[in-house]
Structure 1
């Protein structure tokens, strides 16, 4: 089974050819800048407590994060939106290769973005996702976790050239988005594993997540 990194490499070849060298250069510069900036000092990390939050499901109904998680440990995946091809690659991959392992372990998988419920529905449909997909409509939780960012001006201009604007997809009509992040939390809402990716073309691989989940199980035993 190919990794997310393998799929991204294959995707980038065709994508860069499609958009041309100018736009490809804009996105490469953005990724380099994000990498140079590093993970924010106040970003969620091991030992952080996840606060409850009022989120919205794909049908538009309000739901408590704690209610969605339940009483058991969980894996939270923060992604940019259904407009992001790297997010779609990742969520589809998690559906195929992560979800079965989490189901076997009794661990919930929840994906969260700032997009509208329609965007969440699109993400579900695009990936035929069978796990919970929620929206943080005002980026409240994302900001509390210290993982909020936004595309730079050049990238937003490039998005316009490609026919879309992040703000049109977000529930709060801003361009605020999370750094792609995976958190493993225990039954006490404490983070036991945090992986924040400032370069949005890279993501947490399934083997790494399952290893973190299994480490949590050993500690709890």
Structure 2
């Protein structure tokens, strides 16, 4: 089953309230409204695209060790996945799919890292829960996401809903700001230029991990 098929099946079960997803039905129009407004804002179109230079960054892994994009790119191409956090089931499905594809990334000389605003403890939980062999880096305040054009502030009505659902982003992220990154996937060549970009203002839509393999193969051939 493809990643998107899994996401679609989860979304259908969630909206239908099938066990173990007991969510009040009135939340769904509110979440759909927020997604529609983010799509309509055009922010995804203003995020960094293929052909543009990727911002350099240094972020900590779950053990507090700094990881730099420069060091990763010195080894080969870099695959970046920006995601919302361990609390997001769509993100967890995506991380699992990336893990399944990791050997194919590595066979093409690429490194893979995921970037989230969540705390180190929550990143460790993500790694355990999804059985990941690649690092999750903590993007405090979503600053790197902002440099890529991905950071957005949740509307007040969605903040109110998240509070009702006990989805406490300030606690998850150790940050009082209610901001998130739009889910996004990038491939960056060793020259620092973005070779592939996919940004999703609709968090229920994610590209297939193998959609990046042709780009990575081309980078490998022309290295």
TM-score under structure 1 length normalisation: 0.91
The range that moved more, 155-164 or 66-75, is 66-75
Aligned ranges for residues 53-202 of structure 1 at < 5 Å? 53-96=57-100, 98-202=101-205
- CA offset at residue 14 of structure 1? 2.4
- CA offset at residue 109 of structure 1? 0.7
CA distance in 2, matches of 1:95, 1:139: 23
* Unpaired segments ≥5 residues, structure 2: none
CA distance in 2, matches of 1:21, 1:34: 21
- CA offset at residue 135 of structure 1? 0.9
| SS of equivalent residue, structure 1 residue 192 | strand
| SS of equivalent residue, structure 1 residue 55 | strand
RMSD value, Cα = 1.7
CA contact (8 A) 2:62 2:120 kept: yes
TM-score under structure 2 length normalisation: 0.90
Deviations 1:117-140 (A, max 9, x none): 112111111110001211111322
- CA offset at residue 69 of structure 1? 4.2
* Unpaired segments ≥5 residues, structure 1: none
Which residue does 1:14 correspond to in 2?
Answer: 13
CA contact (8 A) 1:55 1:62 kept: yes
- Which of 36, 49, 52 is the equivalent residue of 2:53? 49
